Each structure stands twice: as C-alpha cells, then as structure tokens.
C-alpha cells in the first residue's frame, strides 16, 4: 500500500474539486479535511486493489451530506448584520460556476461533480448517490445541459 501522504498528494485536488462543486467554496475545505481525516483512520483496512479515488469520493459525499444536514440545523441570521465587504476572487468565473452549480438539483450537482470533476464512471457515481447507472448518466447529462444553458451562455465571448 502507498503511504497515506502519497494518497493525499495524488487525490487531494480531485476531492477538493468535488467538495467545492457539491458544497460551494465556503464549506469545501472543511469537508475536504474531514474526508481525509476519516480516510486516514480507515486506510489501513482498505482492501488491496481498491479504487482509492472512488473510495475517497464516497467519503467526501458522506461528509457533504453531513455538512448539508448541519447547515439545515443552523440558526437563522439576525436582521441587523454588520456591513462587510465581500471577498471576491480576481477570477470570478469560479464563483460564477459555483452559482450555476448551486442552482442544479442536488442529484444533478452531485453526479456532475463525481463524474466530470472526479472522473468516476457512472456505475460508481450511481453507487455513491444511489440509483441506477442509467439514472446517474441521465442526471449528469441533464446537469451539464443546464450548465451549458446558464453558465456557458453567461460567459460566451469571455476570453479569460
């Protein structure tokens, strides 16, 4: 088995992209950290020859569910919030992409993230999110079509 540090180096960016796509930029790093903390504990028991990337994306999926559940239990914000200047990345396309992803239904957002960002086959995506391979393929295709209508159209002619 590879040293766990090598696993983090090899798959860390993929897991972070998946977390960002599913949760957005604010909660992604926490979910990424939680994913690798859980993976570190379970790694010694991982079967030799297992698909490590799919295993990590499965853990990230579960952590994302945990974050969403916790988010639903958070207190509502108060009426008088101190004024703050929002941080905006110089390359706002990432924020725009997250906004477009956030508008997708949950299943579509997850299947797009797991298939197109993590590179998992539809069969493994279906195992992670539940349902059939055909349903995962359809959800991913519908999600990409929706992104083409919203995000791609908004950035037509953008040469960044």
Residues of the chain below pLDDT 70:
72, 74-78, 80-95, 152-160
What pLDDT digit, counting tens, does each position of 45-72 carry? 999 999 999 999 999 999 988 888 877 6
Dihedral (Cα; 59, 65, 70, 72), 10-degree rounding:
170
Q: What is the pLDDT of residue 149?
A: 87
Q: What is the pLDDT of residue 85?
A: 46
Q: What is the pLDDT of residue 22?
A: 87
Q: What is the pLDDT of residue 127?
A: 92
Give the pTM: 0.62
Average pLDDT, the chain: 84
% helix / strand / coil in the chain, to the nearest 5?
Answer: 70, 0, 30
Q: What is the pLDDT of residue 81?
A: 56
Structure token pair of residue 43: 């790694």
Give me the residue spans of the domains in the chain.
4-76+90-154
Q: What is the pLDDT of residue 160?
A: 46
Structure token pair of residue 113: 């993230």
The distance in angstroms from the start CA to the end CA of the chain is: 41
């Amino acid at each position: 088995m590879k040293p766990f540090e090598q696993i983090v180096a090899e798959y860390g960016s993929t897991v972070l992209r998946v977390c960002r796509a599913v949760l957005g930029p604010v909660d992604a790093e926490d979910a990424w950290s939680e994913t690798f903390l859980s993976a570190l504990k379970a790694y010694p028991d991982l079967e030799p020859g297992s698909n490590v990337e799919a295993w990590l994306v499965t853990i990230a999926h579960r952590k994302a569910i945990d974050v969403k559940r916790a988010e639903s239990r958070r207190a509502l914000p108060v009426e008088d919030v101190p004024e703050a200047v929002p941080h905006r990345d110089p390359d706002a396309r990432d924020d725009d992409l997250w906004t477009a992803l956030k508008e997708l239904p949950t299943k579509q957002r997850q299947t797009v993230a797991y298939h197109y960002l993590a590179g998992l086959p539809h069969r493994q995506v279906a195992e992670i999110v539940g349902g059939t391979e055909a349903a995962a393929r359809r959800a991913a295709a519908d999600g990409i079509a929706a992104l083409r209508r919203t995000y791609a159209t908004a950035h037509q002619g953008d040469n960044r």
